[in-house]
């Protein structure tokens, strides 16, 4: 197996699941001896470094590119350049025009989501997202869920290779000082519910999330502790969202800060319209926090309804509330069984397994 010189092109400040995947898997690749870097546009670089300080300590460079010429110089001496978003596909296509054909690296696209769903149909952004899957001739596409592989093939007729999803067990692990049966624990000594609240991303359904949290407050009163993360108070106010005094906001958290909050919660709610994978739900499992995730999308890679979590139609408030009510109605021993099932599932997903699956794919590309 070869160890190709690899660069991921990631035009983002980070903070989302897709960027988390690239970061933790780059660290895993680096531990395997792969010379890997993550190229980030100049306008995102400072925030990216702040979001992922661990890259510096783990020896993963974060080169900056300001334009196509700068990116061309970065990728010219690489064996493999890997897109991560539809915007990065465009950046790579423009850069390749400036690289001598004989010196061009092999190309791959690590698909993190089905991005045409991000934009209004027929808009320029929608067109660019749709074209990204066929824009780079000879490109190898890969993704971490069967749902992503299938939706790209069904809509574009392009085969997508499947790699393993990754979970960073160095930071996502349970805190079991109260034992597995301590299912109802939290700030108020009762049920503790944690939700992801990202109003800047409509498909994450912020208004639905708030509506459910308010319903839980009314239903359970002082027996429930409600917490959210994902956006600062200032950002929420700018978006016209006012939190109930019963809801504690942890703000925008770094990847390494999220698990500590999860370890102090009983249930984690991701009430997005869909999830291409739903990384945060799987991460909550590794912290012995039971997830409620959308059944639409790729959560079936790990979530088994009422066994290790809850997979619900998030369009239905009733289904969401029934899932919470089901967990509350379980005995401590039954809640403990769900935690064991969640931890057992999470243990199957490791960075090592993911890196091995990616290296096998990269080896077939660069032969």
pLDDT single digits (tens) 260-287: 999 999 999 999 999 999 999 999 999 9
Going 79 to 125 to 22 to 345, the CA torsion angle's sign is negative
What is the chain's Cα-based Rg?
A: 21
SS3 content of the chain, % helix, strand, coil (to 5): 45, 15, 40
Average pLDDT of the segment spanning 171-191: 63
pLDDT at 189: 47
User: Residues 237-259, buried b or exposed e (16+ Cβ, 10 A)?
Assistant: eeeeeebeebbebbeeeebeebb
Average pLDDT of the segment spanning 66-87: 96
Both structure tokens of 187: 């700030």
pLDDT at 90: 97
Q: The tokens 């991460």 sit on which residue?
A: 283
Nearest CA to 111 among 80, 146, 59? 146
> What residue ranges do the domains of the chain occupy?
6-166+350-366, 191-347
Q: For all residues of the chain together, what is the average pLDDT?
A: 93
Both structure tokens of 191: 């049920």
The pLDDT tens digits of the residues spanning 95-146 come to: 999 999 888 999 999 999 999 999 999 999 999 999 999 999 999 999 999 9
Three-state secondary-structure class, residue 124: helix
CATH class assigned to 191-347: alpha beta
CATH, range 6-166+350-366:
3.40.50.2000
Cβ atoms of 256 and 54 within 8 Å: the answer is yes
Average pLDDT of the segment spanning 316-328: 97
The answer on pLDDT for 365 being more than 50 is yes
Higher pLDDT, 160 or 102: 160
pLDDT at 177: 63
Taking the C-alpha atoms of residue 200 and residue 230, their distance in angstroms, rounded to an integer, is: 10
pLDDT band at 16 (very low <50, low <70, confident <90, very high): confident
Q: Lowest-pLDDT range, 25-34, 57-66, 207-216, 239-248? A: 239-248
Does this chain's domain 6-166+350-366 share its CATH topology with 191-347? yes
């Amino acid at each position: 197996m070869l160890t190709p010189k690899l660069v991921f092109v990631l035009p983002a400040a980070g903070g989302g699941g897709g960027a988390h995947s690239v970061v933790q898997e780059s660290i895993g690749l680096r531990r395997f001896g792969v010379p890997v870097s993550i190229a980030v546009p100049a306008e995102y670089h400072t925030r990216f470094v702040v979001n992922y300080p661990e890259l510096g300590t783990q020896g993963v460079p974060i080169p900056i590119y300001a334009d196509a010429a700068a990116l061309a110089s970065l990728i010219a001496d690489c064996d493999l350049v890997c897109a991560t978003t539809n915007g990065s596909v465009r950046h790579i296509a423009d850069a390749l025009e400036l690289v001598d054909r004989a010196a061009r690296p092999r190309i791959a696209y690590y698909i993190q989501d089905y991005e045409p769903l991000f934009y209004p149909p027929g808009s320029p952004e929608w067109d660019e997202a749709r074209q990204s899957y066929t824009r780079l001739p000879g490109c190898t596409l890969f993704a971490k869920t069967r749902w992503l592989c299938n939706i790209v093939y069904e809509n574009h007729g392009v085969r997508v290779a499947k790699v393993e999803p990754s979970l960073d067990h160095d930071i996502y692990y349970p805190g079991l000082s109260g034992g597995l049966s301590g299912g109802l624990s939290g700030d108020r000594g009762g049920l503790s519910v944690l939700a992801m609240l990202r109003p800047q991303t409509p498909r994450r359904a912020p208004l639905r999330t708030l509506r459910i949290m308010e319903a839980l407050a009314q239903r359970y009163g002082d027996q429930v502790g409600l917490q959210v993360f994902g956006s600062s108070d200032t950002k929420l106010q700018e978006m016209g969202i006012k939190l109930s005094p019963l809801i504690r906001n942890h703000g925008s958290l770094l990847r390494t800060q999220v698990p500590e909050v999860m370890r102090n919660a009983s249930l984690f709610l991701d009430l997005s319209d869909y999830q291409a994978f739903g990384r945060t739900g799987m991460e909550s499992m590794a912290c012995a926090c039971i997830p409620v995730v959308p059944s639409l999308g790729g959560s079936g890679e790990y979530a088994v309804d009422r066994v290790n979590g809850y997979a619900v139609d998030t369009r239905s408030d009733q289904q969401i509330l029934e899932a919470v009510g089901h967990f509350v109605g379980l005995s401590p021993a039954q809640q403990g069984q769900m935690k064991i099932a969640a931890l057992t599932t999470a243990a199957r997903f490791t960075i090592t397994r993911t890196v091995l699956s990616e290296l096998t794919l990269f080896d077939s590309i660069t032969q």
